Structure 1
Amino acid sequence: MNGFKVLQPGLLTLLQDAGRIGHHRIGLTSGGPLDMLAFKWANRLLGNPVNSTVLEVSIGGLVLEAEVNTLLVLTGAEMPLKINGIEFERWHAHRIKQGDRIELGYASQGARAYLAVSGGFQIEHSFGSTATVTREGIGGLSDGNKLKQGDYLPCNEVTSGQAFRLPELHRPEYTDNISLRVITGYQQHSFSDFDKRMFFSSDYQVTDRADRMGYRLSGPEVKASIDGILSEGICHGAIQIPADGQPIVLLNDRQTIGGYPKIGSMISLDTARMAQLLSGSTLTFEEITIDDAHNLHCLAHVKFERTEPEDVS
């Protein structure tokens, strides 16, 4: 079998494809990469199909030993990449030989990095996806677990293949103080004008209770006129306001239903940016319309498609 042996799994390393779509009706959430843009670039810089399986590395500390010849790329957070003890450029495809040691340091900016190989990791699908959701025990190598020391990551032998580099001009910047765009929903009427002004004009901090299910924030209290609602489906980016008045932004591994009032939903472009924040980072919210959100999504798609990486094959 060809692949990589896991020498050190890092703090939290998960196998992810683009996500498990269409299974909310049976209680399965989507999973998938927290930062979809970095995920898409990881695959594109190797010429992979967009849904190829990669590693999402949170914070860092991953060490692998190659037992295959292939190409490899690392995108996302500023997480040092070393091959056989020598540091190599991120957002740049590199040739890997059998016996090479791949080390990821700890992030100095951002929180999630994406490590891809040519053709993607060859992982069996569960309910149409390889996406790991530890809360549900599904996806990944087995039973939805994060990577462990001694795990083996199978992939195909590649002696030649497409290899690209994304110029620094086009790489995302990860900062600790950002503004995030929100579409208010039908439950906004449960919040007074004062509370909505408070929400959209205040600074909030990321707490240490931030993970793939959601980011719990700390800041001025926001109160709804209702204590709760009948449980209903929850979309990606929904901003729940529980009884303590502290917002929770729900992400990829969220539960599929919930009963807290929601002041609105963050757009997916910005949940990706938020997921690169570490505890203590500051954020603010900006209200936009659904038409604004559609335009931003379309512009981002066009920008991605029209940005041409450099061929380094």
Structure 2
Amino acid sequence: MTSNPAVTPIAAAVPPTRSETAPAAGGGESDPAAGDGGSRPDVAAYLDRIGVAPGPPDTALLRRIVRAHVATIPFENLDPFTGTEPPVDRADIVGKLVHGRRGGWCFENNRLLHDMLGDLGYRVTPLVGRVRLGVADGDPPTMRTHRLTLVEAGDPAEGTATTAPTAGFFVVDVGFGGTVPSEPLRLVSGTVQPTAHAEHRYRSDGAGGWAQQRRGGGDWLTQYTFDLTPVPDIDYAMGSWYLTHHPASHFRNGLIAAYSGPDRRATLAGNRYTLRHTDGRTEERELSTPARVIRALEDEFGIDTSGVSGLEQRIRTVHFG
């Protein structure tokens, strides 16, 4: 008889691996516990980009990296919005998000974080979820198009009294737009985990599936569901291609940008700019011209738009037509 996946220790059920695309300098893989990734060019450039010093692969460094990433490298969809194929391989993503001062969507932001954490010595597993935000209970399943990462880090008992087999594991997600979890979230069912921007929790279905939820307006909203099956790169490439080219994809049909700073969260949806402070204040304004939208992308979100062909005309057609 097959064992119940709900009671199978996670380390046995899903053995996390180093980044598949991050061989150690000199050929073979390094010991994940070595924590020497900060000396590699890609990782050094990434840490410099987000302003974090290298260190041992522990929970404290993981928290610093995730907080800094969501504050520094924005979520944005300028490529699919302007009809450009977003990159899916490591080299092009590093070139765009790290050296090119751009942001990206989940396939880019979470691929970058996955690979950098692997190089830094964390044990990481690539996962994929079904976005459920805005989808009614009982509606048909959505596609598996949201990339995220399982990470093993730190003392399994740190910060929690639970003895659940998942206690030493975190899910990190720096690619969910304006409601992204701004901290690594421990993979424990039912535990409310506050961040600077919102409260989150996971709910296990008892059969290997998980729901990531955020408290909004007093209710718990399911943002996405997922399981712990490792995902090959080709599945992400297919999801990226589909969301770039499907006529109904909202990534094609509207401009989106977001970042989450230590005391604020900013979003841009079309020409509507919203700034939510962690003290509860909210500022909103409508940007009156395509040029002002582009200025906001550059000045507020830190996005270099100089290489995005046709951006101003696309903004004019979609949001001012």
TM-score (norm 2): 0.23
TM-score (norm 1): 0.23
More helix, by proportion: 2
